[in-house]
Structure 1
Amino acid sequence: MNDTDSGTEARTLRINDYAPGFSARSTAGEVSLATYRGRWVLFFSHPADFTPVCTSEFIAFARAKERFAACGCDLLALSVDGLYSHLAWLRDIERSFGVKVDFPLIEDPSMAIAQAYGMLDSAAPSSATVRATYAIDPEGVIRAIVWYPTNVGRSVDELLRLVEALQVSQREGASTPEGWCSGDPLLLQPATTLEEAEAANGSTGAWYYRERIA
């Protein structure tokens, strides 16, 4: 695995930061983050191979891969385990559960990528990564960051909803309300002047809460 592209001391990543670049070995061959430019990427870490919660997540991600692909989003996974552990685990998932995991799972034994993304919990007793997830847009910008503790599995349906909401809100120049799903109304930006607020009073609902169809 190569070092991350920045070569600088890692800091806490924030929404709208550029995702640190990297090249590394994976279960699908050599992977470089730069090759994903032009597409959305859901980049996520898991604590360890051959563990129950991680297995449940990978089965769910594999089953949802085509749904992510339908909205132009690729899946990319990582843990600090080595490549041969990854290969053995994914083969056993297919043999035991009949589910083929065919998105790349990156090895990171030196923890260079995990450190660059802040995936390691400084209070943890081991090098296992937390369940960190980064939604990265086609320009390589981090648009959302979601962390789960090691003992709680992620909702793959919610992460798909998150990617769809990010895409629609960007395309439509609007916001998505609580629980928004594809096809639901969007929210317009609230009025910022008294004149705009008074004009909005004639529409249904409050001037600061206006819906529109995508």
Structure 2
Amino acid sequence: MPGITIGDTVPNLEVETTQGKLKLHDYFADSWTLLFSHPSDFTPVCTTELGAMAKYESEFHKRGVKLLGLSCDDLGSHREWIKDVEAFTPGCKVTYPIISDTSREIIPQLNMVDPIEGDAGKIVPSRALHIVGPDFKIKLSFLYPSSTGRNMEEVIRALDSLLMASRHKVATPVNWKAGEPVVISPSVSDEEAKKLFPQGFETVDLPSKKTYLRFTTPT
């Protein structure tokens, strides 16, 4: 059975975390959430990443986004590891919960299994990140091997793009960053675009003479 992916609803699992038991849908309700997994506690790349998550947490909160980590180690290990994470990233506190999945029953349901790495024949988490909407559906997924740490600026950029598209009938072009022009969805006619974007839009003159590439800056 294939794992959940973009557009799928995250199962409403009850999980044990460093901040107590919670049900995923209760945690996701009324906000966006970054659900991210790590191969193991007390490992170098994961330690840098958890510190970066804590460092960027204020940026996520400004956007109304929660954080929820996951690793297969037990809660005691998580709590001891957090001390190392905070020491490596001075001034940052890990205030977000981290799921414990010692049975390794959760990661397959969340499509967070590393297809290459293993631990004495057991499955291990990939370096995965799902951006989950308030409707409990996966909006975007990143999947990295254990050897490659995430780029937090790209996580922020992708999140800004998703939030922009959720508010307006637009998409974001290549290398887009917040504040830059966006493109109007092809499903929006010019007449509708004039109403939706009273600030105006620019249609690019292309050799095909098709008018599908329209830029605007939502207010």
TM range (shorter): 0.7 to 0.9
Unaligned runs of 5+ in 1: 1-9, 194-201
Aligned length, in residue pairs: 197
Q: Report deviation, 1:96.
A: 4.8
Could you tell me whether the CA contact under 8 Å between 1:187 and 1:211 is conserved in 2? yes
**Which stretch shifts more, 55-64 or 114-123?**
114-123
Match of 1:205 in 2: 205
Aligned identity (percent) is: 32
Residue 97 of structure 1 deviates from its aligned partner by 3.9
| Residue 170 of structure 1: how far off its partner (Å) | 1.6
Q: List alignment gaps of at least 5 residues for structure 2.
A: 190-201
How far apart are the structure 2 equivalents of 1:109 and 1:191? 46
Amino acid at match of 1:23: E
Match of 2:15 among 13, 19, 24: 24
Shift of residue 104 of structure 1? 0.6
Give yes or no for the alignment of 1:135 onto 2:128.
Answer: no
Paired letter, 1:48: S
Contact 1:11 1:116 in 2 (8 A): no
Work out the CA distance in 2 between the residues paired with 1:100 and 1:161: 23
Shift of 1:30: 1.7
TM-score by length of 1: 0.86
Give deviations 1:22-54, integer Å, cap 9, x for gaps. Answer: 111211222221222110001000001111100
* Cα separation, 1, equivalents of 2:84 and 2:49: 15
Match of 1:34 among 19, 22, 25: 25
Distance 1:117 1:68 in 2: 22
- Counterpart of 2:100 (choices 102, 107, 111) is 107
Give distance in 1, aligned partners of 2:166 and 2:74: 37
CA shift digits 1:87-109 (9 cap, x unpaired): 00002322454332111111001
Which whole-Å deviations, capped at 9, do the CAs of 1:153-212 have from their partners, x for residues lacking one? 00111111111110101211110011111111110123799xxxxxxxx94433231101
Match status 1:160 vs 2:156? yes
Following TM superposition, the consecutive aligned residue runs of length 4 or more in structure 1 with deviations greater than 4 angstroms are: none
Give the 5 Å matches for 1:6-155: 11-35=2-26, 36-98=28-90, 99-126=92-119, 127-155=123-151
What secondary structure does 1:78 align onto? strand
CA contact 2:14–2:24 (8 Å) conserved in 1: yes
